[in-house]
Chains A and B, each alone.
Chain A
């Protein structure tokens, strides 16, 4: 219990922004030229985040090799990075950005407005596979009146523009073949890279900002979680970015040679109803099944003491988070009463399309047992990721399904009635649309907080739990990010004791 509260306190501290980096960075001498060896399960497929490189490239390159106009910090704040100052017009349709002076790319070229224009257009281009393409679609023009000034015009207000720009790497417009090489402005340059094995980053001694507290970073990639854990046990890596198997934590926690930290992830395990079809078009049915789910027991059976319960789709690192776990708290009798009210006193039967990979099959079995207690029979139908995409995401041909949603700030999905789960509450749709057109961050936050409460009241989906984000390191290594938002893993603050 004590241990849990310490971890919670750490998360809370990180959220308040008082602890941006991890744990208990002790006042000890560190080796400024140390090699930091990072073990990860997410190997980038190539080096270009607009070419389907996967989350591994964000982990290795965001903030390390490439920088953006703004940076999403580990605490969830959006801060200026390559932007010196910016202003928005009265109508919110024109943004003017002044670039930081004296920034150069690794190739030696200076950062200019033309590079910024090129970089944004790379993300919005037809061939781009960036997940942020759609959120930048309100951009109608990018002007570069001089080398240090970028003017972006929008077709509609977009309060999230700085946030969305934090996903846009600023790449030298003269760079070629960035699927296999790089030209960014970050504190590290790409060193050796061996596909299927490892990728090294070397300290950029000409960096415009604060120099990293280490000399070199090597990301080593594993496909097997056990092999990754063994690497830490045998001192072949210094830190594991994200532990995916709770069982393996036993060998690290309680051992003074290692530090285990739990941060706040944004990955939500979700039981999505198809809100278009009976009986899930009935809010009473959805609320009844939310109340019939002992989420604390489920989370504990999968992650032990780790992870967080959530009452809606919003994780604590989103600015519009409020604790909504009490809205449909676990209550079997209330669930039965609601089902009777909804016209299903004897329950009903439905098919749960379950992706064939962890943790979904186990979660499905748990739900099957839980819902049997209120007379609802669950037929588990195991499907592949590809079938999920075709049948559920595209064709909307399902009753209920399980899925993990990893994105930060993705409550906006509930504002799209055509999304796979088909939730359609005009009030929420309007709030979410209006929030993007908000004049201030406060207004945006107020509207999304309201939308957040409404989806929880409607039990739009059954939000089962938030995955933990667990980082394990050797005890002599400190200063790494604990939350890993947007899969980022800033390496420049990592210190290794002498």
Chain B
């Protein structure tokens, strides 16, 4: 479907390649070269054939292998996503639980309000704000970019990712926090906590022994979705911080009608999102034995 939609877009990659000064003959030659003169079906069959061999082709524009370029870009996007996400959990989990347990205290309410604000703020705006404060005013971190040698230059690469990771983390934490809070509220109000407390457990002990496992199940399915969203949403953060990630590759490829690159990025992204969903499912089953039984039935 991606394949057809892309090609329905107006604009021929041959034109995009050549620019304004091109002659008809040059355009025809470019069409033959990129294959956009072939019938759609022929293009599609060769695309699927190559996909099966995991050959994503070479870029129309850069002439580089799509797969190796994606690999290169993932070395930025994957750490950005995962670190941002882990930091989000570290922020959201305790704060979410506090917000639920201490909802009647001022700081519980404050956490809820701030998280609401966090959801309302657009990512790019938060990114710019963070750059202004931490890079331009305080000069603590670089405002953007990624070292030329990548992770071979580990220290610089880690520093380069600090602000982007923080930006991703704050955005995700804001929405995650609300799920954690409502899951915790459900758990607090549940029969098993009341029973555990009646049997003599302290409140915290009851929460830790029984609450976390029960509360975790809905939170994990949300986590799976959030992780996928983070991965796909990294494009905005990459743009603000001038990071050579998968998102910036996709944006450029779309502008240039570089179909092999667009298809390659979308294919790999889809694959990764499916994998994340699958992993979240597995984790839920591991935590909740009831889900394992259900799996056998379906």
Contact = CB atoms under 8 A, between A and B. Distances in A.
Contacts of A231: 142-145, 242
Given A46-B62, A197-B145, A233 B249 contact: no
B63 A223 contact: no
Given A179-B62, A180-B63, A223-B252, A386 B10 contact: yes
A390 to B, nearest CB: 8
A234 interface: yes
Contacts of A387: 10
B150 interface: yes
Nearest to B146: A197
A129 B61 contact: no
Contact of B64 (A46, A222, A224, A227): A46
B136 A197 contact: no
Contact of B72 (A51, A134, A194, A200): A194
Interface in B197-211: none
Interface residues of A, number: 40
Interface in A1-54: 45-46, 48, 51-52
Contacts of B146: 194, 197-198
B240 A227 contact: yes
B69 interface: yes
B148 interface: yes
Contact of B240 (A195, A224, A234, A389): A224
A460 interface: no
Interface stretch (B18-26, B107-115, B181-189): B18-26
B105 interface: no
Contacts of A48: 63
A386 B11 CA distance: 6
A86 interface: no
Interface centre among B20, B62, B131, B145 (most CB of A within 10 A): B145
B290 interface: no
B248 interface: yes
B38 to A, nearest CB: 18
Contact of A195 (B11, B16, B33, B244): B244
A367 interface: no
B241 interface: yes
A218 B63 contact: no
A348 interface: no
A386 B18 CA distance: 12
Given A195-B72, A233-B136, A389-B20, A127 B143 contact: no
A270 to B, nearest CB: 13
A249 interface: no
Given A194-B72, A234-B143, A227 B62 contact: no
Interface string A206-223: 000000000000101111
Q: How large is the interface on B (under 10, 10 to 19, 20 to 34, 35 or more residues)?
A: 35 or more
B292 interface: no
Nearest to A197: B244
A245 interface: no
A51 B239 CA distance: 26
Nearest to A43: B252
Interface string B1-42: 000000000110001111111110010011001000000000
B136 A126 contact: no
A140 interface: no
A223 B124 CA distance: 14
Contacts of A393: 20
Nearest to B21: A131
A236 B144 contact: yes
B135 interface: yes
A237 to B, nearest CB: 8
Given A45-B61, A46-B61, A195-B244, A227 B143 contact: yes
Contact of B244 (A194, A226, A234, A386): A194
Contacts of A52: 17-19, 61
A179 B60 CA distance: 12
Contacts of A134: 21, 23
B62 A195 contact: yes
A387 B150 CA distance: 39
A224 B239 contact: yes
A222 B19 CA distance: 21
B194 interface: no
A343 interface: no
Nearest to B27: A394
B72 A46 contact: no
A194 B148 contact: yes
A192 B149 contact: yes
A13 to B, nearest CB: 33
B285 interface: no
Contacts of A223: 239, 242, 248, 251-252
A236 B15 contact: no
B139 interface: yes
A129 B16 CA distance: 12
Given A129-B26, A131-B21, A393-B20, 14 more contacts: A45-B62, A52-B17, A134-B21, A179-B63, A195-B64, A196-B245, A198-B145, A200-B148, A222-B242, A227-B240, A230-B131, A230-B136, A231-B145, A384-B11
24 contacts: A51-B63, A52-B17, A127-B33, A180-B63, A194-B149, A195-B244, A196-B252, A197-B145, A197-B146, A198-B146, A198-B148, A223-B239, A224-B239, A226-B128, A227-B143, A230-B143, A231-B143, A234-B139, A234-B142, A236-B142, A236-B143, A236-B144, A236-B145, A393-B20
Interface of A: 45-46, 48, 51-52, 126-127, 129, 131, 134, 179-180, 191-192, 194-198, 200, 218, 220-224, 226-228, 230-231, 233-234, 236, 384, 386-387, 389-390, 393
Q: Lowest 7 A-B CB distances belong to which pairs?
A: A196-B244, A197-B244, A230-B143, A179-B63, A386-B11, A227-B242, A45-B61
